[in-house]
Chain A
Amino acid sequence: MTRQRNPQDSKYRQADWNEPLLFEMSVSGKIAHRLPAVEDEVKSLVGSLDAIIPAAMRRKHSPNLPEISELQVVRHFTRLSQMNFSVSSGIYPLGSCTMKYNPLINEQAALNPGLAWLHPYQDVSTCQGALELMWELEQWLAELSGMDAVTLQPPAGAAGEFTGVMVIRAYHKHVMNEGDQRKEMLIPDAAHGTNPASAAMAGFKIVVLPSSSEGLVDLDALKAASGPQTAGLMLTNPNTIGVFEKDIGEIAGIVHDSGGLLYYDGANLNAIMGISRPGDMGFDVVHMNLHKTFSTPHGGGGPGSGAVGVKEKLTELLPVPRIVKAKDGRFDLNYNLPQSIGKVHGFYGNFGVLVRAYTYICALGREGLRRTSEIAVLNANYIAHHISQIQGFSLPYSPNTPRMHECVISAKNLAEETGVTAMHVAKRLLDLGVHSPTMYFPLIVPEALMIEPTESESKEDLDLLIGAFKQISNEAYSNPDIVKSAPHSTALRDLDEYRAAHPKTLTLSWKMHLKRTAK
């Protein structure tokens, strides 16, 4: 089949392999790996497998797994990787996700056998380096966030939120004896979906706070919603539209006066490292997404790490075990914390991710971290300024207030004047070698395109992004169909999502596919 290729599109072309599924390549008897044979002495002592594994528990039929050669495995996954856009492929300005460069030294560090090949239950005398790394990282994250103690156990941002709100719950329940009363968690309408989802998992009732006309926390609404039933407020600062909540002192006062605690969603921490600290703003609990601010790779969706920092009065409530440093400088794990919320992960969190965050902080140091935030903010403002000047695009809410690490552009005018929506713009960007921004979030901005360029992008790349928006605007006003029918140059286009989700055609595995097609 032929696809429309626009001469104005970028030179970027993703590979378009027609790669079959592994199952379709399978030929009985092929192998991609050989395992060592069992020694004869071992076999003769043990005897037959039938004697040691009960017959009823033996697998009757071999699993239907692909049988292919080693080179076929290599080609298959190499080709699939080439059909995947990444930070290494091009600009990835996905708002709120902080798609910065993932330094390669971090990867090398995490693969070091002295770190990667440690069993979590090894005697602590054989893991002193790992514990030292974690302990030091805890100190640095506490310093960066202005907190007194940090746990590295939560394996993702949302897991950090759950941990944090569980700590708030335990505080009201066990420290203040107000558990029955403080059942409400206040959450702004522009918050990430994980905030209400995490608070609900911790058993809280969610009270949604409307944003003010400036896109900030509405102080009157906050006052009206706060009271003896309030457990806390979950907030990002800078907030979701990328603006610093200038009234944070008053916000903290209102929440604290009502007896609630202040939770900081660290999704947007990349804006303020070394410039301002959540702990100094009055926050009691913070989570930090190490896969955002501290450059650990997103891996197509994970693994992440959601370290949680707390103020002194909450340290006893953190998950066990805690890493402790003895007077003689030796490190140990302390499980003896009766007030702890328990465990939120099978072991100590995503250690491999912690190693990468550690090397990142090492490499940048105090001056580099601060400079990182400065450039992240500079880049976001550069984008906000130049894109909001393009016909059809605007910067709603406090347009004259500087943005921090990200900005939310609205394509409302473009949609009204040309029929080209934020979705169309996002898809057209793919033709131009750019990953789309976050779309239709936050909900308070119509036709939202949330752009976070990060400090990693050079001015040249930012200009390319601005140029892409200009081209799309021109096209929308002159030949909107080319935008509306985008993307044109990607490996695939116009996938049937309705069919994907319909119970009659839902196919979540090869097994389901075989069953459905056999009918």
Chain B
Amino acid sequence: MIRKLAIVLAIVPALGFATACGGQSDDEGGKVKVVWWHGQTEAEGQILKDLADEYNKTHPGVEVDPEVGTTNVDEMLQKVQAALAGGEPPDVAYMYGSWSSTLAATPKVVDLSSMVKDPSFGWDDFWPAAREAATVDGKVIGVPSVVDNLGLIYNKKLFDAAGLPYPTKDWTWDDFRAAAKRLTDPGKGVFGTSYVVTGDEDTVWRFWPMLWQQGGSILGSDGKTAAFASPQAAQSLDLWRAMAVEDKSVYLDQNGEKFLPLFYSGKVGMEMAGPWAMRDLADHQVDYGVVPLPGYGGNHQTISGPDNWVVFDNGSKRAQAAKDFLAWLTKPEQDARWSLGSGNLPIRQATSKLPAYEKFAEQFTGADAFLANQENAVQARPAIEGYPDISAAVGDAIDKALLGQATAQQALSDAAAEADKILAKG
């Protein structure tokens, strides 16, 4: 039993210990080594491995070593935490955009400002929301690895069966609610839509577009107080509450892993989802369409959750080699192979002008709609260190409202009070 206790106490250091044992040397046969934790498996991992092989062939002085790092990117930061504690971080790692502020405060993260400022890099060609999400207080903590946005995907068969017209790009949230109600059929176990109620960022980021569409913002202009508990935001949350509690048209997904499979099997009519679903949708041969999110007063803003390649400092030689590799990797030709090959949107606009994109758009229904929807991704979440804590408070508030345990205004006001406390701590 002592051993069992020790395991709990030792989650962190044991990981560090384990990685510290697997040393990585700077030079391997005179070559500069770049260890690349990409977090991708199967077909996606193979694409990246092929790219690394090609780079190694054409760049004799460098050895890019692609490793999975972790099969679940949710745990990537945790893994790198442990690797840093052991003193052997990877040179490049795949990181979620929501971690940017924490990464910016990490001294071992290499500032890529000078690299992206180089005209040959073409930083202006990247999507504005992705650039903003990668920049924290003037420090560029990474370059986009995957960009996405939330749109509305709908199952055409279910709409036909209910005799409803398909959603349009001019839909309001009231249209959305009415359709969800009509689609719901408890007898057949069919829901109009679903919402992820894990209470973490997966819950929270689906809510911010509704706030932004009404001119609201997450924080006040001074960045010191929470501004998300506005009456308009409460009204939006109340719409979801009413759909979940009164209409019972919302499937509440507690672990965030069921809502898409349910959509694939025709049990949910509409989902807020991103381009990452297109591959599975094609595999399951779902007859679906994609439109931007419903809006308020013609404003259809969405949210983009760009992920980044982040460089960690293992000495200037390796850092430079890692930067050179990333500059190559994000060129349109390579981006077409990685992003389009893995069923993602191009990370830069030039890629969408290549012939490869046309093929991609033909292959995946809704690719054009998601690409066009990038224009609606104009705001990013605040890049402050307290964001994860604030997100946790808002996640609780949304869950409370959707489960009918509090009014929308009460839940949001409580979360805002908590957020103010977090912000005051700094």
Q: Do these two chains interact?
A: no
**Chain B residues with a Cβ under 8 A of chain A:** none
- Residues of A in contact with B (beta carbons under 8 Å apart): none
